[in-house]
Amino acid sequence: MSGVVLRSAVEMLSMLRARKISALELADEHIRQIERLNPLLNAFIDFDADRVRTQAAAPDQAGGTPGLLSGLPMSVKASISVAGHRCETGSLLNQGHIAATDAVIVSRMRQAGAVVLGTTNCPEFLMAYETDNRVYGRTSNPWDFERTAGGSSGGESAAIAAGLSAGGLGSDSGGSVREPAHFTGICALKPTPGRIPGDGHLPPCVGPFSLLGSIGPMARTIGDVSLLFRVLSGHADAEPVSAPVAWQQHSMKELQQIPIGFFEDDGLIPVTAETRCAVWSAVTSLRRQGFRVEPFRPCALKEARELWWKLFVRSGAMLVDRLVAGREALISPVLRDFLRIAHAEEPLSGQELLTAWVDCDLVRGKMLAEMREWPVLLLPVCSVPAFRHGEREWDIGGQAVGYLDAMRYTQWFNVLGGPAAVLPVGRSPEGLPIGVQIAGRPYQDEVVLGVAAALERDFGYLPPPLAV
């Protein structure tokens, strides 16, 4: 079964159904990969081989109709509750916290028959695009140990890219499943808020974060991401933003009728030459397949980014300040860096916060109006590929680009509340993966995934050399 851990989740499930491999054998293959590579990557922070084997033995022994994910080994970011597992959000302030119950999405995973491998590393309180904390340390990129696997779902991306997990769950309030996917060469979806229940996420997806944040599937292929989204999405009664929207299937002919707008940069923050090349490669592929793809850049991007800054950075810092008050000595350098950036401005006043909340709907309305003609957008994920641990500024074409500015290409769609998927398309001169982003209007998740799947015909996942 050499190489089985690097196959797609869809292929693994097909092998399980055909009895070419048992759930226990598949789990053992993943256990060996974890034991071999996790000491190098530091992706899993809570993993117990015996517990995994006990779960995996159950589908092999049970009768009846197997679930749609029966026997599939999956992982979960350590900010999503998995009963009996650590859910500490990378903070000494939460050290030792064990989740008592499963998040709704984890319950659905189990009901579908998935085998939970364990929980994966994340930055403290999820406030970074680099996974590092004082509880477990940093997670490294399987393409280059000197570089980050991204954040805040960096443990997930490293585990999936290196074949430690067939797929898993991350969360995204500013690019936190998409940036790591881009950095490690895998696929991810930030869904429309409400399509996947956020109940059981720590911190809770409430207030501004009910719009900005969502739990999203991550895997090596868009086909896998689509399967996870189809199986795990759906209305949850206790979820205030949960949407009773059923899975929608679109044919290739229907997708080809949807105009796609693309842009290489936002006119303010540049991207590397290889990133531009990846966007153009994607444009060429889609045009060849019969899609209409034309230059288009929404005018409301600058306003959307300003609102994201207020709601995520400044408002988020106010929430973190309350959590760490009197215990500042315990916080990690990565979180301290985020707070330093946020505290460069005065805390939001009540009037500013109320105005931002109102403006959010107005700006969303502008973007949605602009996207009537171009319902799907193709664009970069980030200004740069995976950066070295601790880097916070880059020179791109003679322009200095700061840390949070380089990541702005994902942040707009958290304010829009629309879906956005990432898949690998190009490579940097150092051989690092470069992804592109497919974004759409709210509740058009299946359209975004369909376009991404078409693009994946010409591109897609390649294993990092250490994983083979």
Any idea which residues carry the catalytic annotation?
77, 152, 176
Are 175 and 416 within 8 A, CB to CB? no
Closest CA to 211 of 190, 229, 231: 190
Q: Are 434 and 275 in contact (CB under 8 A)?
A: yes
Nearest to 24 by CA among 71, 70, 69: 71
8 A C-beta contact, residue 434 and residue 278: yes
Specify the 3-state DSSP secondary structure of 18. Answer: coil
What Rg value do the Cα atoms of the chain yield, rounded?
Answer: 20
Calpha distance 243→236 (Å, rounded): 8
- Contact criterion met (CB below 8 Å) for 382 and 410: yes
Instruction: Please enumerate in sequence order all residues whose Cβ is within 8 A of that of 226, keeping only pairs 6 or more positions apart, or say none.
Output: 446, 449, 453
| Cβ pair 432, 424 in contact under 8 A | no
Q: Compute CA distances 333 → 27, 311, 328, 336, whole Å.
A: 36, 22, 11, 5
Sign of CA dihedral 321, 413, 407, 455: positive
Q: Which residue type is seen at 255?
A: L
Q: Say if residues 382 and 179 touch (Cβ distance below 8 Å).
A: yes
- Residue 414 near residue 307 (C-beta atoms within 8 A): no
Using CA atoms, how far apart are residues 292 and 250, in angstroms rounded to an integer?
17
Is residue 451 classed as helix, strand or coil in its secondary structure? helix
The two beta strands, 167-172 and 73-77, are: parallel
Tell me, what DSSP letter sits at residue 349? P
CA dist., res. 13 & res. 36, Å (int): 23
- Other CB atoms within 10 A of residue 243 CB: 18
Single-letter amino acid code for the residue at 402: G
Please spell the DSSP secondary structure of 289-324, one letter per residue.
Answer: TT--EEE---TTHHHHHHHHIIIIIIHHHHHHHHHH
